Amino acid sequence: MEYLSLYLFLAVCLLLMLGYPVAFTLAGTALAFATGGVLLGVFDAGFLSALPGRIFGTVNNTTLIAVPLFILMGNILEKSRVAEELLDSMARVFGGLRGGLGISVVVVGMFLAASTGIVGATVVTMGLLSLPTMLRNGYSPALATGTIAATGTLGQIIPPSIALVLLGDILSNAYQQAQLNMNIFNPKTVSVGDLFVGALVPGLLLVAMYILYLLVYARLRPQHAPPADAGAIAVGEVLRGLLPPLALIVVVLGSILGGAATPTEAAGIGAVGALVLALAKRQMDWQRLGEAVRGTLEVTCMVFMILVGAAVFSLVFRGFGGEELIHGFFQTLPGGAMGATLVVMLVIFLLGFILDFIEITFVVVPIVGPILLAMGLDPIWLGVMIALNLQTSFLTPPFGFALFYLRGVAPQSVPTGAIYRGVIPFIILQLLLIVALWFRPELATWLPATLN
């Protein structure tokens, strides 16, 4: 009976692998186990009495208002063809260089990642916009698809993104719970904005590593990344495509970093700014606006339904003693806090093959977060490590989500093996950054400490 919490976790993973809806799988499986536990006399139904308060707290959480606003911002930028114009502008700037089209994809993908943070949306958008152009200009299928897939996962680490909003909110609650468990009744706080600041340097460093790799690759194998015939470079056209989305990202992120706005307020600025930008470019009509709003509604409903399902799962998991079981397991691991962190990172990496970042953030992080933070880990460092770990998992063959999305939009002439080969160098780059963060946590913690 003491392992019922682990059986619950395994049952959820199995059902999710079979394709059942995430939110209802979490809640339904947990309630089924709770019912069985009550009948067997091993579960206290009183744990479920906390569920209404959990749901009310979720709905009343002002930080989570940023989720639909950032999603709306990204959808408007996508529907208004701002990304297409930006890619064309970057191709004109870098296209004449060997590997220039690849650099353009990375730069545009960085902007899209900052505005959406949703892996599938970025990969599909970049795949449809840039893959035909890269192949037509003589890029090897492996390099083209690898660049697009890797760029599409930047939304896990480039702020301000949905992934960091959700992860930051969960880690904030976990950090307070960890301190209360240690009898610290005036706990320190960590905010979504702190995680944004902590992820900024690693995110930009990863983008720089991608670009450096493309330049070196193009120099060593110029036939696989030839310069493109981008046409004459008109400075006015380039600025017209580049400056508006750049200004929008700078205003949104700068208001957070400068302390002028909370992430929720900045998300509102971003959504309104994206709409104004689309209207100014005369690329938004009622049909596209309706599609953007409906897409926002669908994703937002999915996120909050998963939150409710995760709340049910978390209560039942704790009711079966799962948290104590995991804490005891961590205490027996060699290496203390870092040994426990290594195990958690491995588990999250493997779960990234079958679960999206939302499920992992809502299900796994609330379970292991308070335990790891109580062992002395920095919450910002832990959040950045989890984001990078998930990014690497979503890119790793054969189950990475980014690979599935790209395979869906890539032409049949591009073999799946080429996609797998293309992402390997980018996976190595991400692993190098994770190792650097492991031994140099200040890469993530220095900037937040300086600004605070």
Q: Is 66 in contact with 195 (CB distance < 8 Å)?
A: no
**Region for residue 81 given its phi and psi (left: phi exceeds 0; alpha: psi -120 to 50; beta: otherwise):** left
Q: pLDDT at position 99, please?
A: 86
Tokens of 344: 């958690």
Four-residue CA torsion sign, 186, 188, 189, 193: positive
Distance CA 434, CA 437 (A): 5
Which domain range does residue 421 map to?
4-451
Counted domains in the chain: 1
In a 13 Å sphere around the CA of 306, the CA atoms on its Cβ side amount to: 22
Q: pLDDT at position 230, please?
A: 57
CA distances from 122 to 97, 125, 202, 203, 295 (A): 24, 5, 19, 16, 14
Tokens of 30: 């947990």
In sequence order, what are the residues at sequence separation of 6 or more whose Cβ sits closer than 8 angstroms to the Cβ of residue 53?
Answer: none
Tokens of 435: 């190792």
Helix (H) or strand (E) holding 426: helix 416-439
Strands (DSSP E) found in 350-409: none
Q: Is 160 in contact with 73 (CB distance < 8 Å)?
A: no
Task: Provide the residue-wise pLDDT of the chain in tens; the chain has 452 residues.
Answer: 678 888 988 898 888 778 788 788 889 999 999 999 999 888 888 888 888 888 888 788 888 888 888 888 888 877 877 777 777 778 777 877 888 889 988 988 888 776 665 666 678 778 888 888 888 888 999 999 999 999 988 888 888 778 888 898 889 988 888 888 777 777 788 888 889 899 999 999 999 999 999 999 999 998 888 887 655 566 676 777 778 888 888 888 888 878 788 888 988 998 898 888 888 877 778 888 898 899 889 888 888 888 888 888 888 988 888 888 888 888 888 888 889 999 999 988 988 887 778 878 888 888 888 889 988 899 999 999 999 998 898 888 877 888 888 888 888 888 889 999 999 999 999 999 999 999 999 999 999 888 87
Four-residue CA torsion sign, 39, 43, 45, 46: positive
Number of residues assigned to the chain: 452
In sequence order, what are the residues at sequence separation of 6 or more whose Cβ sits closer than 8 angstroms to the Cβ of residue 198?
Answer: 380, 381, 383, 384, 444, 445, 447, 448
Q: Is 179 in contact with 375 (CB distance < 8 Å)?
A: no
pTM for the whole thing?
0.85
Helix %, strand %, coil % for the chain, to 5?
A: 80, 0, 20
Tokens of 93: 């700037």
Distance CA 79, CA 281 (A): 12
Tokens of 275: 């709409």
Q: What phi and psi, each to the nearest 5 degrees, are found at residue 159?
A: -80, 155
